[in-house]
């Protein structure tokens, strides 16, 4: 089930970016539903508890990333609008929708477990499974893959999703969204689902069911029962490796500091907002409280926007100088967080709405410097130059006598700094310098990200500019690498 593509798209927005994202979508003709009271007040929205086509919210375990989930066409519409506004982002999306229904092919079976080929040359295991090699099998995607190498889980219990409910074939039980807390409503939903259960289907009530009347809920269950029977009939006739039902699409949009700054500007059109607002909320320490205080002063016109921003940066700078060690969070494009050896501040200045600092990181163990390919020895140290306006972090590695061993220029999003930590998103490729030799590394990894559509065009353009400063033509390097890989294959 999905909404008619000619109808207005309905979106529900939650999380720390809600005001800015709501403003963007509203200005682009998206109907905002189930908005919180504070968002309705800020944007003058009437109460509308219709079920959404799309939900946009901050990821629970990654405050830098938006989750966009819902009916595929509408998800594409909403994510495209957000991407056009923020411009610089890292994006991942599911090829196979969550709960999509596909016709797979069994590759092999061992005991009661089958390896199944799915569309897009994806494979997954199914257990229990007693089909034989070459058999066609109808499965649903119970857990989808969004980023590379994530596991994907399949089941024979197919489901079809509506606005208020999902019905599941082969699982005759009733579940209710944890967001529906009213006891009487939950009792009503159990009663409404009883006929569907008797037909052998399971029912999951979605959070929007909490707003709907009995007639609407009964009507949707009837429609979903018809739809699942139609899908099962289509599936029996479908060609292998066909997507029979698209399920829900998931898009993840990671927002670097530059994107957050644009959202700060959009939010400021709705309510007093300082630059650094969304960075402070995402990093989540005491600076978030300082930002709230600064915005209170701003709303009363006791300070200007420039004074608020400068005050926040100076507060961060003072706290950094007091910190014994600064934590460094290096986030890979697929979201994996690497905590680097902490550093001690050697110098720090604030100017032109940015912080520039140099950290000294001293190493205690033997090893090899990644990319440089030279030995790391106890007593070696790294002078790490960080500029919150720069798309690079420069590492200069020295031996204990102060002799330069080599330079590593990390290409990354402009760092976000709070009172005791530095956070940035790595962009795969880097530049290394040893004596008078300069070269680019990890280019194939970057090319793979481009092919996946993970790196926005605006970020790609920034990277081209950065590597040009070191005498490297990135587009030429990419072309040569692609040709070289063709020859290998």
Distance CA 238, CA 111 (A): 27
pLDDT, position 353? 86
- CA torsion, points 99, 101, 105, 107, in degrees to nearest 10? 0
Tell me: pLDDT of 3 over 70: no
| pLDDT averaged over every residue in the chain | 94
Beta-bridge mates of residue 116: 106, 124
Which segments of 259-362 are extended strands (E)? Answer: 326-331, 337-351, 354-362
CA dist 17 and 35 (Å) reads 13
Reported as a single tens digit per residue, the pLDDT across 313-327 is 999 999 999 998 999
Mean pLDDT of 212-241: 95
- Name the token pair of 365: 């163990």
Q: Where are the beta strands (DSSP E) in 162-211?
A: 165-169, 174-176, 201-205
pLDDT value at 4 more than 70:
no
Burial class (CB in 10 A: 0-12, 13-18, 19+), 283: buried
What phi, psi does 142 have (nearest 5°)? Answer: -80, -30
Query: Residue 414: its pLDDT value, please?
Result: 97
pLDDT at position 2, please?
43
The reported pTM is 0.94
Mean pLDDT calculated for residue range 35-61? 96
Query: Residues 261-273: what's their mean pLDDT?
Result: 97
Phi, psi angles (nearest 5°) of residue 363: -100, 140
Cα 295 to Cα 143, 262, 318, 462: the distances in Å are 41, 17, 20, 31
β-bridge mates for residue 58, sequence order: 66
Tokens of 141: 């995607």
Using DSSP, state whether 235 is helix, strand or coil: helix
For 415, half-sphere exposure in the C-beta direction (CA atoms, 13 angstrom radius) is: 24
The percentage of the chain sitting over the pLDDT mark of 90, rounded to a whole number, equals 91
Q: CB-based burial of residue 338 (10 Å sphere; 0-12 exposed, 13-18 middle, 19+ buried)?
A: exposed
- Picking from 7, 178, 160, the residue whose alpha carbon sits closest to that of residue 97 is 160
Contacts of residue 421, defined as CB under 8 A and 6 or more positions apart, other chains included, come to 283, 285, 326, 327, 328, 329
- What average pLDDT does range 236-259 have in this prediction? 96
Indicate whether 390 pLDDT > 90: yes
Residue 185 pLDDT exceeds 50? yes
Structure tokens at 21: 């994202």
| pLDDT attached to residue 168 | 96
* All domains of the chain in start order, with CATH: 10-94+251-268 (no CATH), 101-247 (3.30.230.10), 272-314 (no CATH), 323-488 (2.40.380.10)
Rounded to an integer, what distance in angstroms lies between the CA atom of residue 144 and that of residue 407?
40
Using a 10 angstrom Cβ sphere, with 0-12 exposed, 13-18 middle and 19 or more buried, the burial of residue 158 is buried
Pairing of strands 159-161, 404-412: unpaired
Q: What angle do CA 50, 56, 61 make, to 5 degrees?
A: 135
Residue 6 pLDDT: 54
Contact 445, 480 (CB under 8 A): no
């Amino acid at each position: 089930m999905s909404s008619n593509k000619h109808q207005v798209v309905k979106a529900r927005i939650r999380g720390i970016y809600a005001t800015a994202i709501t403003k963007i979508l509203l200005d682009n003709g998206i109907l905002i539903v189930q908005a919180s009271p504070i968002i309705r007040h800020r944007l003058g929205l009437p109460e509308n508890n219709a079920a959404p086509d799309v939900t946009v919210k901050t990821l629970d375990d990654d405050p830098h990333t938006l989750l966009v989930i819902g009916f595929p066409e509408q998800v594409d519409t909403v994510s495209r609008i957000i991407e056009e506004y923020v411009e610089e982002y890292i994006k991942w999306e599911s090829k196979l929708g969550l709960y999509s229904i596909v016709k797979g092919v069994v590759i092999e079976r061992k005991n009661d477990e089958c390896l199944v080929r799915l569309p897009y040359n994806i494979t997954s295991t199914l257990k229990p499974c007693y089909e034989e090699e070459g058999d066609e099998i109808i499965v649903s995607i119970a857990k989808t893959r969004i980023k590379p190498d994530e596991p994907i889980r399949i089941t024979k219990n197919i489901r079809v999703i509506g606005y208020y409910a999902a019905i599941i074939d082969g699982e005759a039980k009733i579940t209710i969204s944890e967001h529906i807390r009213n006891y009487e409503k939950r009792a009503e939903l159990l009663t409404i689902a009883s006929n569907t259960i008797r037909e052998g289907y399971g029912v999951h009530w979605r959070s929007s069911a909490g707003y709907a009347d009995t007639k609407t809920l009964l009507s949707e269950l009837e429609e979903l029962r018809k739809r699942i029977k139609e899908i099962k009939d289509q599936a029996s006739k479908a060609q292998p490796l066909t997507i029979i039902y698209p399920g829900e699409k998931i898009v993840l949009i990671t927002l670097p500091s530059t994107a957050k700054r644009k959202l700060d500007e959009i939010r400021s059109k709705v309510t007093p907002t300082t630059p650094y607002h969304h960075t402070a909320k995402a990093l989540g320490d005491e600076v978030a409280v300082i930002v709230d205080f600064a915005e209170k002063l701003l709303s009363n016109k006791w300070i200007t926007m420039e004074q608020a921003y400068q005050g926040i940066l100076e507060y961060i700078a003072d706290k950094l100088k007091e910190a014994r060690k600064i934590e460094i969070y290096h986030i890979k494009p697929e979201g994996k967080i690497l905590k680097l050896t902490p550093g001690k501040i050697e110098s720090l200045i604030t100017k032109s709405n940015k912080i520039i600092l140099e950290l000294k990181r001293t190493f205690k163990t033997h090893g090899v410097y990644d990319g440089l390919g030279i030995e790391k020895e106890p007593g070696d140290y790294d002078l790490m130059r960080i500029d919150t306006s720069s798309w690079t972090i420069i590492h200069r590695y020295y031996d204990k006598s102060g002799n330069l061993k080599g330079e590593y220029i990390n290409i990354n999003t402009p760092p976000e700094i709070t009172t005791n930590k530095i956070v940035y998103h790595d962009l795969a490729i880097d530049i290394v310098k040893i004596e008078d030799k300069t070269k680019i590394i990890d280019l194939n990894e970057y090319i793979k990200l481009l092919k996946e559509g993970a790196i926005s065009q605006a970020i790609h353009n920034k990277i081209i500019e950065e590597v040009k400063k070191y005498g490297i033509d990135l587009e030429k390097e990419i072309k040569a690498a692609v040709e070289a890989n063709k020859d290998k294959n």
